[in-house]
Amino acid sequence: MSMPSSRNNTEDNSNTCNTGHNNDYSIESSDAHTQMSGSLKRQLMTLIREQPSAKTGGNPFVSHCSIKSGRPMSTLDVKKIGSGVFLRYGDVRLAFDTGIKGETTLLSHPHSDHIGGLRFAHDIIATQATFDTWSARGTEPVAKKTVLDIDDMFGQIGVNITPLNAGHVLGSAMFYLEFNDGLTVLYTGDFNNVDSLVHRAAKPVAADVLITEATYGEPTWIFPDRRKVYDSILQAASETIAEGRTPVFSAYSLGKSQEAIALLQSGGFRVISGNTSIDKVCKVYGNHGVSLKHYTMKSVNVPEALESGAVVVTSSLRNTLATARHQLDKKSIDRLEQNTDTFNLSGWTLAKFAERGFPLSAHSDFQGLLDFAKSVDPRVAYVFTDRAGVFSKHLSDSGINAVALE
């Protein structure tokens, strides 16, 4: 597989890109974090971009490609549909994180806001870890499954598809598309450009078109250094136990809980998982090489662990307490109901919900989103999620043509 990591620095600031006098060209990497470089064989082409309309809703940016001779090529059409995005370019039609009857879906990861409508998909392309964690969380795809490994290219008529590590949860993928005429597209899904204990950071790759999330796409969302967040979580656990109480950390069952367990485990704490959904996902992580040690609520060691100062990680405290009432002795139940301090692990604790907790996020913050987009250096960026409008304006202010898919 050959993929560009940076664009030729000799191009001017117009929307017309001349590749040179022959069809073979090499693009060297100018980003130390990007590991992909090489040569692409393309038809000599001029890429022409129309300026987007001031309206952002229901009027997607249209991209026109034409060979230098003037022969028209396909129109790129990108739309927000349901929980995801639909792309059409020539004869290629692809859905991202949503299902459309008779079409192929590229699934970045199986969080609930990314699997809406997948029962309509004809074929679902994802990593094995994505299919495994999806199954562990209690649902199964009914469509045909195509499994891809991270960084392995898959070719189908009109386009080559390569999943790239997204750093969000186990197996999460961005998708890099290379069309037969040389047009390249990068779809991010949810991504994190910061390393964690259990996930590697996503790395930018140069593309003509970027389709990016903007979950934290406002300047107010700048997260502290992750190591400082880790230290604060461990300190809170130690102080709570020293006060004779049980620290409870609330986190999503897929991704965040596993990071919390790994962190607390590394800090020398005995960790109890409060939900079977977390247990099942942890087993999948183990099958994919990420070892996580913790007690389940059914373990005979839980009462003693609680008494001696264990930590609980839960995705639903209500469900944890319901399980405790069926599995544990009265003393342990009383401790969980009356003698705990709960901390939420989420980027939203930074400001939005004013929740007691720590801003541990599986997403890139505002600066991470902006830096990532600049490194991709697209001709145009499509932005989805709630803050699409705000973030697309910041991209435009940074010199990137951007359109909000709202």
Residues 110 and 44 in one domain: yes
Number of domains forming the structure of the chain:
2
Q: What whole-number distance in Å separates Cα of residue 374 and Cα of residue 397? A: 12
170 within some domain:
yes
Query: For residue 251, what are its two tokens?
Result: 């986190």
Sign of the four-CA dihedral 184, 79, 405, 352? negative
Based on the fold, state whether residues 81 and 117 are members of the same structural domain. yes
Residues 37, 160, single domain; the answer is yes
Q: Is residue 82 part of a domain?
A: yes
Q: Is residue 10 part of a domain?
A: no
**Domain holding 145: CATH number?**
3.60.15.10
Is residue 12 a part of any domain in this protein?
no
pTM of the model: 0.82
Same domain? 283 vs 202: no
Q: What residues form DSSP beta bridges with 178? A: 160, 184
Regions of the chain with pLDDT less than 70: 1-73, 141, 352-355
pLDDT value at residue 6: 38
> Which of these, 175, 208, 224, 238, lies nearest to 367 by C-alpha position?
224
Residue type, 163: P
Residue 156 domain-assigned (yes or no): yes
Residue 297 φ/ψ, nearest 5 degrees: -65, -20
Q: Give residue 269's pLDDT.
A: 98
In whole angstroms, give the CA distance from residue 302 to residue 324: 10
179 and 151 within one domain:
yes
pLDDT at 139: 75
Q: Does 241 lie in the same domain as 138?
A: no
Q: Are residues 246 and 289 in the same domain?
A: yes
> Do 329 and 396 belong together in one domain?
no
- Beta strand pairing call for 173-179 and 184-187: antiparallel
Note whether 81 and 132 are same-domain residues: yes
* pLDDT for 272: 98
Residue 333 sits in a domain whose CATH number is: 3.40.50
Q: Look at residue 16 and tell me if it is in a domain.
A: no
If asked whether residues 63 and 164 sit together in one domain, one would say: yes
- Give the model's pLDDT for residue 355: 65
Q: What is the 3-state secondary structure of the chain?
A: CCCCCCCCCCCCCCCCCCCCCCCEEEECCCCCCCCCCEEEECCCEEEEECCCCCCCCCCCCCEEEEECCCCEEEEEEEEEECCEEEEEECCEEEEECCCCCCCEEECCCCCHHHCCCHHHCCEEEECHHHHHHHHHCCCCCCCEEEECCCCCCEEECCEEEEEEECCCCCCCEEEEEEECCCCEEEECCCCCCCCCCCCCCCCCCCCCEEEEECCCCCCCCCCCCHHHHHHHHHHHHHHHHHCCCEEEEECCCCCHHHHHHHHHHHCCCCEEECCHHHHHHHHHHHHCCCCCCCECCCCCCHHHHHHHCCEEEECCHHHHHHHHHHHCCHHHHHHHHHCEEEEEECHHHHCCCCCCEECCCCCCCHHHHHHHHHHHCCCEEEEECCCHHHHHHHHHHCCCEEEECC
62 assigned to some structural domain: yes
Same domain, 298 and 317: yes
Q: Cβ of 353: how many Cβ atoms within 10 Å?
A: 11
Query: What is the extent of the structural domain holding 156?
Result: 24-220+363-404
Q: Residue with structure tokens 């199986």?
A: 110
Q: Which two tokens stand for residue 345?
A: 């692990």
Q: Tell me the β-bridge partners of 95.
A: 86, 105
Pick from 355, 312, 356: which is nearest to 336 by CA? 312
Domain identity same for 124 and 242: no
Q: What is the dihedral of CA 320, 325, 326, 328, to 10 degrees?
A: 90
Does the residue 353 lie in any domain? yes
Q: Give the other-Cβ count within 10 Å of 227's Cβ.
A: 8
User: What are the distances in angstroms from CA 128 to CA 131, 256, 303?
Assistant: 5, 19, 36
